[in-house]
Amino acid sequence: MPTFPHLSKLSQPQHYQRVFDSPTYKVSSKAFLMLASPSLGSRSRVGIIVAKKNIRRAVRRNRIKRLVREQFRLNRFDNPLDLVVLVRAAADQLDNPGVWRELDTLWLALKDKAGSS
């Protein structure tokens, strides 16, 4: 499995805060909420938030994070975006193909929004 480069992660609280304060794009489903804003750098970055309140078991939280990272790696944007993915409690009820389908739908919606502006 390919490694996920550190430069592709939102690593500091102020990076997350910038996206939370002024998200340019927002797409959501029952299981996920994606907030995005244009990146200040030259590449897209992702931050994943999975609250213990929503998904109790660490194994399940890590599974969701792995799937989100893999989807991010496979779905590139034309313009660099800083992206925050908030995982809701409904994601815990989905199996891997279900999570994959849900994320795939959201990536396409986000690409449409980001590409149309």
Per residue in 53-74, pLDDT (tens digit) is 999 999 999 999 999 999 999 9
CA distances from residue 73 to 55, 89, 101 in whole angstroms, order as listed: 23, 24, 15
DSSP letter (8 states) at residue 92 = G
Reading the block at residue 8, the tokens are 């592709």
Q: How far is CA 81 from the centre of its chain?
A: 11
Per residue in 12-44, pLDDT (tens digit) is 999 999 999 999 999 999 999 999 999 988 899
Structural domains of the chain sorted by starting position, each given as residue range(s) with its CATH number in brackets: 12-110 (3.30.230.10)
Query: What pLDDT does residue 14 have?
Result: 94
What is the pTM for the complete model shown? Answer: 0.92
Q: How far is CA 77 from the centre of its chain?
A: 13
